[in-house]
């Protein structure tokens, strides 16, 4: 079980580092938006895995808040990019 947990931690850490790299490098706002959504999803997966491993549901409200922030953030960025594209035309 310990070996499996260590493999899970390493996989999530590597994915988070690669995602942070994409957020920093870009090159466009949409790349950064997708990377931030992926990072939020990774955080949700880590919390879900922790809940499953420790047999509790105390982190469920946090998961719901993170999901809501991700959805509203994506909608906000999409509206911003759409307005910017319309202004350029």
Q: Confidence band (pLDDT; 50, 70, 90) for 86?
A: confident
Sign of the torsion formed by the C-alpha atoms of 13, 15, 16 and 18: positive
Cβ contacts of 15 within 8 Å, gap of 6 or more: 38, 42
Q: Confidence band (pLDDT; 50, 70, 90) for 43?
A: very high
Is the pLDDT at 80 greater than 90, yes or no?
Answer: no
What percent of the chain has pLDDT above 70? 99
Is the pLDDT at 16 greater than 90, yes or no?
Answer: yes
Report the alpha-carbon distance of residue 63 to residue 34 in Å, rounded. Answer: 19
**Burial status of residue 43 (CB atoms within 10 A of its CB: 0-12, 13-18, 19 or more):** middle
Domain ranges of the chain: 2-88
Sign of the torsion formed by the C-alpha atoms of 57, 62, 65 and 67: negative
């Amino acid at each position: 079980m310990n070996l499996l947990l260590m493999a899970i931690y390493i996989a999530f850490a590597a994915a988070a580092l690669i995602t942070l790299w994409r957020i920093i490098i870009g090159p466009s706002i949409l790349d950064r938006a997708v990377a931030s959504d992926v990072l939020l999803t990774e955080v949700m997966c880590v919390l879900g895995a922790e809940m499953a491993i420790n047999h509790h549901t105390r982190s469920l409200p946090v998961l719901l808040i993170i999901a809501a922030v991700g959805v509203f953030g994506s909608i906000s960025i999409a509206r911003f990019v759409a307005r910017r594209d319309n202004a350029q035309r």
